[in-house]
A and B are shown apart, each in its own frame.
Chain A
Amino acid sequence: MIPERLVNWVVFAGLLAVPLWAIVVDEPFTITLVTRAVILAIAAVGLNIALGIGGLVSLGHAVFFGIGGYAMGILAYHAQTYTSLDLFGLSLAGTKSMPIIWLVAIVVSALAAWIIGLLSLRTSGVYFIMITLAFGQMFYYFAISWSTYGGEDGLSIYVRNGFPGLNTLVPIQFFGLCFALLCIVLFLNARLQNAPFGLALNAARQVPTRVETVGLNPMRLKLVAFVISGAITGLAGALFADLNRFVSPTMFSWQLSGELIVLIVIGGVGRLYGPVVGACLFVALEHWLGALTEFWHIYLGLILLAIVLFARGGIIGLLTGKEGAHV
């Protein structure tokens, strides 16, 4: 069977090669498609930290994706309309600068994840799934009724936000930016997984009682994982909104939360590149099958069914011949 490291490198090289090839043959839309896959991969890498290592099946991760999206939308909206953003008695200016938008997206998502995690982690199993879903729906309906920022229609941003030294309107440059962030996030994930924190979190998923008897608090470990996870998914949300130059309440929808879980399951739960493989496959199917039939989700469902029944380690598990993510 193929070593996992090799699979990872092939995926990595493929993600880089396809857009470069697209430049050569002048197919800018392909670059956008791969960028979309990269951004979804970042969101799913975020979720995989909570889901894969921490065992937290969150059906509300769209909350953080949406928060990231609206962080971008709101800041850019105030910048493009030259209006001030009034918050807690402060009058703030909007911004079109990506680094600032990312920072806001990360901080606000982390804060939201901390509050949601604090409440949700009192439960486990099905109840945890339901309570995170409930939070997702709360944010979704709030966004729909938030008329200041477009309500159900969402917000359009006319020009993509800027990054110092780059022209983000050029697809390959924006792709490069997203790809670099994916690399950073994957690297952080890899370090975290092998660090003492990852070891303890991994044990907290498997045997919380053991973690308690060595004097550590499994709840607190899971909460921190949930916050890191939410922050990364929030960053992806800001990029996603910038890719489309549009945010709408659908970024908060539970379907999106579900899709993120599906991506991870297809790629391989708890594996570093599981979310990346899942995201690529998802976007490819959405594009190719979506062109053939409106009901392409049926085929996605069949693939998911096959994987859950016959290949519990996802596609990476299938390729490497190892079902478990570990060792």
Chain B
Amino acid sequence: MSEPILATRNLRKNFGALAATDDVSIDLRAGEIHAIIGPNGAGKSTLIAQICGGLRPDSGSVHLLGRDVTQYSKQARARSGLGRTFQISALAMEDSVLENVVLGALGASGNPWRFWSRALSDASLTAKAEAALERVGLIEHRHTRCAELSHGQRRQLEVAVALTLSPKAFVMDEPMAGLGAEGSKLLTAFLDQLRAEAPILLVEHDMDAVFALADRISVLVYGQVIASGTVEEIKSSRAVREAYLGEEA
């Protein structure tokens, strides 16, 4: 089996007596979508924060492209190829759509120390930004103020900003949250192609999307991975049905 692009090894994080992350080892391999599901309070957000650098684990490690990035800051992980989208949109609301994506392109260029040239006249930045907007279908809204976008459009913009970084791996925290049926369907189709470019670690509550997209699913309950496998394996797992899918199944 090929080397994983993104991996956690025996990750642990305690908040007082609560084990929010309890010996979690997961992999994300090239070309796949690996979904993390679990009931509320299972520790999904805590896990994501440790992968992306917002929280330091008590023990264990995070590896990106075979490199140990456990001690890296959020910025350093982003520069090493980790692209992230947020559960609650983190966008510059006062700025235009284009400016938000140009920020991503600027991050990718690694050099914000330009005080003279116009950012929006810099073809190397705008070309990349507009290409990303084109892909998520927001190009005609490029001059709209971000605050005026619909919720669904903000989700698309989140993805566009992540695209500008040409990441080696995506971590997406509930990209479908708050989207209508139509919006989820579009985004599902988009993520389906995106996995060929870079694998996606997908935290998602929308089970239709998860079952449609995931190559593998890991189920997190009380900070532990209780099951990991293909969609079929997870659907038929007794432990998962009891712990999580319970009533629905």
Which A residues from 169 to 218 make CB contacts under 8 A with B? 191-192, 194-200, 202-203, 206-207, 209-217
* Residues of chain A within 8 A of B52, CB atoms compared: 213
Asked if A122 is at the interface (CB within 8 A of a chain B CB), the reply is no
Q: Do A198 and B145 touch (CB < 8 A)? A: no
User: In the docked arrangement, what's the CA distance between A261 and B95, Å?
Assistant: 24
* Residues of chain B within 8 A of A5, CB atoms compared: none
Q: Which of B84, B95, B120 contacts A202 (CB 8 A)?
A: B95
Asked if A221 is at the interface (CB within 8 A of a chain B CB), the reply is yes
Least Cβ distance of B149 to chain A in Å?
Answer: 13
User: In the docked arrangement, what's the CA distance between A75 and B117, Å?
Assistant: 36
Q: Do B115 and A200 touch (CB < 8 A)? A: no
Which A residues from 282 to 304 make CB contacts under 8 A with B? none
Q: Do A210 and B90 touch (CB < 8 A)? A: yes
Please name the residue on chain B nearest to A192 by beta carbon: B115
* Residues of chain A within 8 A of B95, CB atoms compared: 199, 202-203, 206, 326-327
Asked if B180 is at the interface (CB within 8 A of a chain A CB), the reply is no
Asked if A324 is at the interface (CB within 8 A of a chain B CB), the reply is yes
Q: Which of B79, B91, B165 contacts A207 (CB 8 A)?
A: B91
Q: Do A199 and B119 touch (CB < 8 A)? A: yes
User: In the docked arrangement, what's the CA distance between A210 and B54, Å?
Assistant: 12
* Residues of chain A within 8 A of B104, CB atoms compared: 214
Q: Interface-forming stretch among B35-43, B106-114, B200-208?
A: B106-114
* Residues of chain A within 8 A of B86, CB atoms compared: 209, 213
Q: Do A194 and B119 touch (CB < 8 A)? A: yes
* Residues of chain B within 8 A of A206, CB atoms compared: 92-95
Contact surface of A with B, Cβ cutoff 8 Å: 191-192, 194-200, 202-203, 206-207, 209-217, 221, 224, 324-327
Q: Do A195 and B93 touch (CB < 8 A)? A: no
User: In the docked arrangement, what's the CA distance between A192 and B112, Å?
Assistant: 11
Asked if B103 is at the interface (CB within 8 A of a chain A CB), the reply is yes
In the complex where A214-B78, A214-B106, A215-B78 touch, is A195 in contact with B117 (Cβ < 8 A)? yes
Least Cβ distance of B115 to chain A in Å?
Answer: 5
Q: Which of A200, A207, A209, A210 contacts B112 (CB 8 A)?
A: A200
* Residues of chain B within 8 A of A221, CB atoms compared: 112
User: In the docked arrangement, what's the CA distance between A197 and B102, Å?
Assistant: 12
Q: Do B119 and A216 touch (CB < 8 A)? A: no
* Residues of chain B within 8 A of A195, CB atoms compared: 114-119
Please name the residue on chain B nearest to A326 by beta carbon: B94
Instruction: Classify the interface of chain A: helix, strand, loop or mixed.
Output: helix
Q: Do B93 and A199 touch (CB < 8 A)? A: no
Asked if B236 is at the interface (CB within 8 A of a chain A CB), the reply is no
Top-8 shortest CB links A-B = A214-B107, A215-B78, A215-B79, A200-B112, A212-B74, A206-B92, A196-B114, A215-B107
Q: Do A197 and B115 touch (CB < 8 A)? A: yes
Q: Which of A191, A200, A327 contacts B94 (CB 8 A)?
A: A327
Q: Do A213 and B74 touch (CB < 8 A)? A: yes
Which B residues from 59 to 108 make CB contacts under 8 A with A? 73-76, 78-79, 84, 86, 90-96, 99-100, 102-104, 106-108
Q: Do B92 and A203 touch (CB < 8 A)? A: yes
User: In the docked arrangement, what's the CA distance between A55 and B89, Å?
Assistant: 20
Q: Do A194 and B90 touch (CB < 8 A)? A: no
Asked if B140 is at the interface (CB within 8 A of a chain A CB), the reply is no
Please name the residue on chain A nearest to B111 by beta carbon: A196
Q: Do A191 and B93 touch (CB < 8 A)? A: no
* Residues of chain A within 8 A of B111, CB atoms compared: 196
* Residues of chain B within 8 A of A191, CB atoms compared: 115-116
**A191-B115, A215-B79, A216-B107 given. 4 additional CB < 8 A pairs?**
A196-B122, A207-B90, A215-B78, A325-B94
Asked if B176 is at the interface (CB within 8 A of a chain A CB), the reply is no
12 A/B residue pairs, CB under 8 Å, sorted by A = A191-B115, A196-B113, A197-B112, A199-B95, A200-B106, A203-B92, A206-B93, A213-B86, A213-B162, A214-B164, A216-B75, A327-B96
User: In the docked arrangement, what's the CA distance between A212 and B112, Å?
Assistant: 13
Q: Do B115 and A214 touch (CB < 8 A)? A: no
User: In the docked arrangement, what's the CA distance between A52 and B215, Å?
Assistant: 47
User: In the docked arrangement, what's the CA distance between A243 and B194, Å?
Assistant: 63
Q: Which of B75, B107, B119, B122 contacts A198 (CB 8 A)?
A: B119
User: In the docked arrangement, what's the CA distance between A215 and B166, Å?
Assistant: 12
* Residues of chain A within 8 A of B114, CB atoms compared: 195-197
User: In the docked arrangement, what's the CA distance between A216 and B165, Å?
Assistant: 12
* Residues of chain A within 8 A of B125, CB atoms compared: 196
* Residues of chain A within 8 A of B107, CB atoms compared: 211, 214-216
